C-alpha cells in the first residue's frame, strides 16, 4: 500500500505538539551538579601501582594520545645465590585529552587493571596544551572511580576466585598434615627417650643380697 501523501508531515507535527505540551527543564549547571549515570565515561584514571609499563595501552590507542616513559631497575636476588632480576619502573604516564576520543580501548586492553573510567568531567582548560594531564592528575581521578556493581547472587563464581580458593584449601590441608606428622614424630621421640631412660637405670638390687655377697 503506498504511503498517504502528507503522512510524514503529520507525524512530525504530532511530535512537535507532544513536545510543546511538556514542561521545559533547564539544567542549572554549574550551580546544580548533573545527576550522571554511575558508570559514565568522564575521564580516564590511573592506578599506577598496577601498571607494569607493558605499553599495551599506548600501542592500541588509535589516537596515539598516551605517553609513557620508564626505566629499568635491578632487583636483588630473593635468596642467597639466586639470580638478579630487572623490572620496569614507571617515570611518566600522560594522556592528551585534546586528542582522546574516549573509545575506552586502553581500559579494555590493560591486562593488569591499571586504567579505569571516572565520572569526573570538570577538567576544561583555557589552553589546549594544558589538556595533557600527567600521572599525578590521573591518580587523583582514581579516587572518584565508583565501585563495581555487585555480582548477581545466582551467578556462577568467577574462575579466578574458585582457583584461588582451591589452592588455599590445598595449602591448608597440606599444612595440617605436616603439623599432624610433626606432632606424631615428637610424641614418638618423647616415648623413645622415656624408654631409653628406663633401660639405662635398670632394675635396682635389694640391700640384703648385696650385704650377703660382701660377707661371703
- In tens, the pLDDT along 35-78 reads 888 778 889 999 999 999 999 999 999 999 999 999 998 888 87
Task: Provide the b/e sequence for 153-183 (b: ≥16 CB within 10 Å).
Answer: eeeeeeeeeeeeeeeeeeeeeeeeeeeeeee
Residues 6+ apart with CB under 8 A from 166: none
CB atoms within 10 A of CB 213: 9
Q: Which of 138, 70, 136 is nearest to 100 (CA)?
A: 138
CA pair distance 179, 188, nearest whole angstrom: 14
Inform me whether the pLDDT recorded for 143 exceeds 60: yes
pLDDT at 206: 53
Share of the chain above pLDDT 70, in %: 92
Q: Which residue has better confidence, 148 or 216?
A: 148
Each residue of 154-211: pLDDT tens digit?
878 777 788 888 888 999 999 999 999 999 999 888 888 888 777 766 655 555 554 4
pLDDT band at 85 (very low <50, low <70, confident <90, very high): confident
pLDDT at 98: 93
Q: Which of 110, 8, 136, 98 is nearest to 54 (CA)?
A: 110
Each residue of 102-130: pLDDT tens digit?
999 999 999 999 999 999 988 888 999 99
**Verdict on whether the full-model pTM lies above 0.75:** no
Inform me whether the pLDDT recorded for 4 exceeds 90: no
pLDDT band at 214 (very low <50, low <70, confident <90, very high): very low
Mean pLDDT for the stretch of residues 82-93: 88
pLDDT at 60: 95
Amino acid at each position: 500500500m503506498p504511503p498517504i501523501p502528507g503522512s510524514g508531515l503529520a507525524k512530525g507535527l504530532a511530535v512537535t505538539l507532544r513536545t510543546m505540551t511538556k514542561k521545559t527543564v533547564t539544567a542549572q549547571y554549574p550551580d546544580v551538579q548533573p545527576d550522571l549515570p554511575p558508570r559514565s565515561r568522564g575521564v580516564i584514571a590511573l592506578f599506577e601501582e598496577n601498571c607494569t609499563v607493558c605499553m599495551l595501552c599506548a600501542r592500541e590507542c588509535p589516537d596515539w594520545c598516551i605517553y609513557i616513559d620508564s626505566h629499568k631497575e635491578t632487583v636483588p636476588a630473593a635468596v642467597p645465590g639466586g639470580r638478579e632480576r630487572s623490572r620496569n619502573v614507571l617515570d611518566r604516564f600522560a594522556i592528551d585529552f585534546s586528542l582522546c576520543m574516549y573509545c575506552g580501548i586502553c581500559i579494555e586492553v590493560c591486562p593488569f587493571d591499571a586504567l579505569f573510567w571516572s565520572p569526573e568531567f570538570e577538567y576544561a582548560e583555557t589552553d589546549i596544551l594544558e589538556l595533557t594531564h600527567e600521572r599525578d592528575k590521573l591518580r587523583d581521578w582514581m579516587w572518584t572511580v565508583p565501585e563495581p556493581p555487585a555480582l548477581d547472587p545466582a551467578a556462577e563464581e568467577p574462575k579466578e576466585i574458585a582457583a584461588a580458593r582451591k589452592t588455599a584449601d590445598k595449602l591448608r590441608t597440606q599444612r595440617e598434615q605436616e603439623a599432624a606428622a610433626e606432632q606424631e614424630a615428637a610424641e614418638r621421640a618423647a616415648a623413645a627417650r622415656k624408654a631409653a631412660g628406663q633401660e639405662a637405670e635398670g632394675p635396682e638390687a635389694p640391700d640384703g643380697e648385696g650385704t650377703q655377697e660382701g660377707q661371703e
